[in-house]
Amino acid sequence: MFGAQDGDLPYKLRQARYNEIAQNLSYFAWRHHQDSANRLNLLDVGVNDGILRRYTELYPGSEYIQYNAADLYTDGTSHVYLSTDWTHYTIDLHRGLPEIPSEAYDVVVCEQVLEHLHQYSLAMSELSRVIKPGGVLVVGVPIFPEGLHWIRKHIIPKTDKIFRSKKIIGHVQAWSKRTFLNDLRQHCPDLTIEACYGFRIISGGILRPLERCRWWWQWNRFVGQWLPGLCIEIQVVARKKK
């Protein structure tokens, strides 16, 4: 997808968030190298199989990135893309990032992770702690329309338990755009939110074939920039105060 992965849908909307981060990262890295002649020090929290790097490498400037990763690594690190070219930290984000020094990274990415944590406030503050002054946090989570997020968070888990639903979701948090931004401001007061993008207002189902069309992705991206709160997921870019 987007030239980074194989598949029958070249513009799969579920992967569009990685393409967006990749473009921003490569630009940040290029600017950082122009200003300092150094590589940009990146920490990818919840790296999974290294999917973000596959997308980032498509763009000029990515050659100036120094890759660091943090994850549970229940199956080791060998499955991570170019695993030996990363510095790996085995962490449980519920405990924060105790092995990582403060103000160590130019950019920290945490994409689709926080919604899996029963306690996320420490994780949020820790993400901010390890960013250098002037550095950037890119964080993404799924969201619900205002009001529905409360039902998803408090009512659905109870009905799933009553009816013994076997759906495997793995999400234990539910936000609207407003409540997530409020949480981020509360737990990371030293960050200034610079942008909030939305992805996937509607996707899949009978509309799935449209993900073969570049214009469909571009339309979703346009709407997501103007109406992120109506989307299925958001991505927030915040900068640490100097």
For residue 3, tell me if it sits in a domain: no
pTM surpassing 0.75? yes
For residue 56, tell me if it sits in a domain: yes
Provide the residue range defining the domain that includes 76: 13-240
For residue 4, tell me if it sits in a domain: no
Beta bridge partners of 68: 43, 87
* H helices present in the chain, as ranges: 16-36, 51-56, 121-129, 148-154, 156-162, 177-187, 214-226
For residue 50, tell me if it sits in a domain: yes
The DSSP line for 194-223 is EEEEEE-SS-SGGGGGGGG-HHHHHHHHHH
How many domains does the chain fold into?
A: 1
CA pair distance 110, 123, nearest whole angstrom: 10
Q: How far is CA 42 from the centre of its chain?
A: 13
State the residue for tokens 């999974």.
48
For residue 102, tell me if it sits in a domain: yes
- Please give the order of strands across the beta sheet that includes 131-142: 87-90, 65-71, 40-45, 105-111, 131-142, 233-240, 191-199
pLDDT tens digits in sequence order for the chain, 242 residues long = 999 998 899 999 999 999 999 999 999 999 999 999 999 999 999 999 999 999 999 999 999 999 999 999 999 999 999 999 999 999 999 999 999 999 999 999 999 999 999 899 999 999 999 999 999 999 999 998 876 554 555 444 544 444 455 444 578 888 999 999 999 999 999 999 999 999 998 888 899 999 999 999 999 999 999 999 999 999 999 999 98
Between strands 233-240 and 191-199, the pairing is: antiparallel
For residue 137, tell me if it sits in a domain: yes
State the residue for tokens 């639903």.
165
Residue 26's CATH number: 3.40.50.150
For residue 96, tell me if it sits in a domain: yes
State the residue for tokens 């469909």.
216
For residue 7, tell me if it sits in a domain: no
CA pair distance 240, 242, nearest whole angstrom: 6
